[in-house]
Amino acid sequence: MALARTLKRLRERGVTVVIVSHKPNIFRAADKMAILKAGALERFGPTEAVLKSLNIMLPARLKRRS
């Protein structure tokens, strides 16, 4: 996926990127995740920790590969 490759290259260069998405396949590209509810920050932290706190686990095929 071209977007994932581009995000990986940017991350390697130390560039901060903000992504707004509801697609789980984009989640793995994120170092951190923010959950907003009614415009207010509900949760923020490492992607896997935020998803776990919401009782959502990414399928193995979507987990970040180092």
**For residue 21, what pLDDT is reported?**
82
**For residue 29, what pLDDT is reported?**
77
**For residue 40, what pLDDT is reported?**
94
Q: For the chain, what is the domain count?
A: 1
The 3 state secondary structure assigned to 12-65 is HCCCCCCCCCCCHHHHCCCCEEEEEECCEEEEEEEHHHHHHHCCCCCCHHHCCC
User: Which has the closest alpha carbon to 63: 17, 33, 24?
Assistant: 24
Residue 37 belongs to what domain range? 2-62
**For residue 45, what pLDDT is reported?**
93
Structure tokens at 7: 């995000």
How does pLDDT run along the chain (66 residues), one tens digit per residue?
788 788 888 888 998 888 888 877 777 778 889 988 899 999 999 988 988 888 876 656 555 555
**For residue 38, what pLDDT is reported?**
92
